């Protein structure tokens, strides 16, 4: 079957760094997305990785290792507004997208 | 650029009643998606349209759910009759291209409560 695993919940401190992991087992691989979803709001796009390595975008970076079926989202200089759920989604083929259940990130002052 | 529009934002109905949701995607986006998101879970794809044709409706409970996308633009999703387990947020998303490697842009969602 196809499966995506993320931690259910994480807690971090304002100003710190947090890494949210995502592991996947899918029949194929066409890319991996990270979306941010604030409570009661719609998901918004953060990043897309299709090749191995680190993609940096401001305070957020996303890493992919296709051989290990692993990705992480790195958030630096955490701000209170970063409190949200972070969804990992994998495209096994061009006609499919599998979503993880999301990681709820709680930022404490 | 206007985003994905959805209405209503909230709906409360009793079980066995019917309900309809509307979505207007970003102008020019070929692909439209309807998702069901239960609290604490990731989005579950119900149906995907490319223009006005259905690409994937494998997870749509067709005995009670129906969807259409007329003229390849707006879309409606209907539930008839509703069950308690249909309580969820229904998200509409659109993407410029036809593949799942395209970024999806989501609307604000409709929160449905079935009593």
Size of interface A-B (CB pairs under 8 A): 55
pLDDT value for A94: 65
CA distances from B20 to A2, B90, B111 (A): 31, 11, 12
Q: What pLDDT digit, counting tens, does each position of B62-83 carry? A: 999 999 998 889 999 999 999 9
* Whether pLDDT at B102 is above 70: yes
CA–CA separation, A20 vs A60, rounded Å?
A: 11
- Chain A residues 32-91 with a CB less than 8 Å from chain B: 33, 41-45, 48, 50, 87, 89, 91
* Whether pLDDT at B40 is above 90: no
pLDDT band of residue B1 (cuts 50, 70, 90) is low
Q: What pLDDT digit, counting tens, does each position of A97-108 carry? A: 899 999 999 999
CA distances from B50 to A13, B46, B53 (A): 43, 14, 5
- Chain B residues 86-115 with a CB less than 8 Å from chain A: 91, 93, 99-101, 103-109
Q: What pLDDT digit, counting tens, does each position of A57-105 carry? A: 999 999 999 999 999 999 999 999 999 999 999 998 767 789 999 999 9
Distance from CA of B93 to the nearest CA of A (A): 9
Contacts of A58 (CB under 8 A, 6+ apart): none
Q: What pLDDT digit, counting tens, does each position of A34-56 carry? A: 999 999 899 999 999 999 999 99
Assess B5–A contact: CB distance below 8 Å, yes or no. Answer: no
């Amino acid at each position: 079957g196809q499966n995506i695993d993320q931690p259910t919940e994480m807690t971090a401190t304002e100003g710190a760094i947090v890494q949210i992991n995502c592991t996947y087992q899918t029949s194929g691989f066409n890319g991996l997305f990270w979306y941010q979803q604030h409570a009661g709001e719609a998901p918004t796009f953060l990043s897309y990785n299709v090749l191995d390595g680190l993609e940096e975008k401001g305070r957020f970076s996303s890493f992919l290792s296709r051989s290990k079926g692993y990705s992480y989202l790195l958030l630096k200089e955490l701000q209170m507004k970063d409190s949200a759920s972070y969804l990992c989604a994998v495209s096994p083929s061009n006609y499919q997208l599998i979503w993880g259940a999301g990681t709820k990130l709680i930022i404490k002052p | 650029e206007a985003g994905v529009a959805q209405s209503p934002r909230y709906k409360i109905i009793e079980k066995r009643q019917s309900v309809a949701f509307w979505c207007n995607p970003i102008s020019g986006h070929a692909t439209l998606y309807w998702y069901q998101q239960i609290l604490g879970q990731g989005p579950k794809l119900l149906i995907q349209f490319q223009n006005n044709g259905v690409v994937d409706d494998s997870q749509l409970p067709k005995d009670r759910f129906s969807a259409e996308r007329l003229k390849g633009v707006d879309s409606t999703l209907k539930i008839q009759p509703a069950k308690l387990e249909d309580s969820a947020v229904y998200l509409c998303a659109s993407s410029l291209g036809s593949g799942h490697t395209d970024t999806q842009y989501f609307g604000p969602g409709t929160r449905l409560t079935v009593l």
